[in-house]
Structure 1
Amino acid sequence: MQTQAGDDLIERIRAHSLDGVIVGPAANDLLSELYGGYPVENLVRLLHSGDDAAVRTGTWLLSELEDLAAPMMDEVPALLAHPFRQVRFYAIEVVLVNGDAQHGPTIARVMNLSTDYDAGVRWKVLGFLAAATTDQLAAGASNLEAGQVKELAEWLVRLDTEELDPRDVLARLEGPDPTARLFGAAAAARLSDEDPSLLEHAATAEDEEIRSFAELRLSQSD
C-alpha cells in the first residue's frame, strides 16, 4: 500500500504541478511516505518529467530528506544547472548534506554558483561555503578550473588549515569584487566563533545576500 500511495502522490504532483493548493499537501504527504520507506529513487519521475514545476517539487523533496537523498546525488549536477532558481537553490542543500570527496565535481558546481545572477542562489552558496567541511571544500576546489573561484576556494581551505591574518578576510569583504566579498563573508562566518567582529562587519555589506546572511548568523548566536 505504501508504494501505491507514493506512486499516486507523484502522479498527482505531475498532473497538477502548477497548482499549489494541490501540490503543497501532496508534496508534504509524499515527504512522509519517503521518510516511511518509499524509495527515494522514484523521485526521478518528477526530476525527469520535463515539467519545470514538477522538477522544482522533486528537488525540494530531496532537500528535505537530508541523508536519505544520498542515492540521488548523480541527479544533482543537472539540478544545479536548472533554469529555475528554486531548483538550483534546493539542490545546493542536497550537496551540503550528502556531498563528500567523491562528489568533488558536483561541489565545484556549487562553488561556481557564487557568480549566479540570482541573489537568493548566491545566498545559498554563501551558506554552503560557511557550513561545508574542510574536506568538502578541498574536494570542490580541486575540481575547479583555474580562475578566480578556484583561487578563492583554495584560500577558504587554507583558512581551516593555516594561520591566516584576519585582515586578509577583511580585505576581501571590503574589496570591489562581489565574488571575493562572498567568499570573504563565508570566511567571516567560519571564523565567527573565534572572532565575531568579522561577521559583524559582513552584516554592514552593501550586498543584500551577504548582509542578510551575516545578520541571520549573528542573531542565531545571541
Structure 2
Amino acid sequence: MQTQAGDDLIQRIRAHSHADDVVGPAANDLLSELYEGYPVGNLAGLLHSGDDSAVRTATWLLSELGELAAPMMDEIPALLAHPSAQVRFYAVEVVLVNGEARHGPTIAQVINLSTDYDTGVRWRVLGFLAAASTDQLVAGAANLAAGPVKELAEWLIRLDFEEPDPREVLARLEGPDPTARLFAAAAAGRLSEEDTGLLEHAVNAEDEEIRTFAQSWLSGSD
C-alpha cells in the first residue's frame, strides 16, 4: 500500500485543482494507487474540500473504481445533488455498480435525475435505467414520491415481470413527454437482448440523449 504516494497525489490535486495538466496525470496515478490498495476513504479529503474541481476529480475516481468504491456509498447522495453536472454524471455510475436494496433512497435520487436539465446527466441516467438490476429499480421506486417519475419507474419494473407490449413502449417513445420517452428508451435497451427493433427505432429520436444512447447500446459500447 503506497500510503505516502497516495497522500502526496491527493495534496497535489488539491493544490492544483484547476490545472488540468497537473490534475490529469495525478488523478491517473492516484487511480493506480487506489487499485493497489490505497484506502478509498482517503478520497473524502477531496470530496469535502469545497473545491468543485477537486470534487469532480474524486467522483471520477470513484466511478472508475467499480466495486472498490462501495465503502463510499454514503458520500453519493451529496454528489448526486451537486451543482456540477459532471459530478452528478460520475456519481450515477457509482450507484449502478454498488447500489443495493439498502441504498433505495440513493437509487431514487438517480431515477429522479431522469428530469435533470443537463443532457449528459440524463444520458447517464438512461444508461442506468437500462442496465440496472430489477432489485435496484424496485428499491429505488419504493423511495420515490408519488408522481410521474414513480409511475414510469413502476412501469419499467413491470416489463421485467410481464410480457411487454412493444406498441406501448413505442407509444411512449414517440409521445410528447420527454421523461416518458427516456424511460421508453430504457425499456428498449432492457428488451434488446430479445429484439433490437425498438432500440433501432430510438436511433432516430429527436432527443439527443435517447439517440446517442440507442446508438451506443446497439454497438455494445454503453
Band of TM-score, shorter chain: over 0.9
* Contiguous gaps of at least 5 residues in structure 2: none
- State the AA in 2 paired with 1:32: S
- Kindly state the Cα deviation for residue 152 of structure 1 after the two structures are TM-superposed: 0.4
Q: Counterparts of 1:81-96 in structure 2 under 5 Å?
A: 81-96=81-96
Equivalents in 2 of 1:220, 1:133: separation in Å?
18
Equivalents in 2 of 1:31, 1:77: separation in Å?
22
Report what 2:210 is aligned to: 210
Report what 1:25 is aligned to: 25
Q: How high is the TM-score relative to the length of structure 2?
A: 0.98
Q: Counterparts of 1:114-153 in structure 2 under 5 Å?
A: 114-153=114-153
- Kindly state the Cα deviation for residue 185 of structure 1 after the two structures are TM-superposed: 0.1
Report what 2:107 is aligned to: 107
Q: Counterparts of 1:55-66 in structure 2 under 5 Å?
A: 55-66=55-66
Paired residues, number: 221
- Kindly state the Cα deviation for residue 166 of structure 1 after the two structures are TM-superposed: 1.2
SS, match of residue 220 in structure 2: helix
Q: Counterparts of 1:27-46 in structure 2 under 5 Å?
A: 27-46=27-46
- Kindly state the Cα deviation for residue 216 of structure 1 after the two structures are TM-superposed: 1.2
Equivalents in 1 of 2:142, 2:85: separation in Å?
26
- State the AA in 2 paired with 1:80: L
Identity of aligned residues (%): 80
Equivalents in 2 of 1:171, 1:103: separation in Å?
32
Mapped pair 1:79 → 2:75: no
Q: How large is the RMSD of aligned CA atoms in angstroms?
A: 0.9
- State the AA in 1 paired with 2:181: R
Q: How high is the TM-score relative to the length of structure 1?
A: 0.98
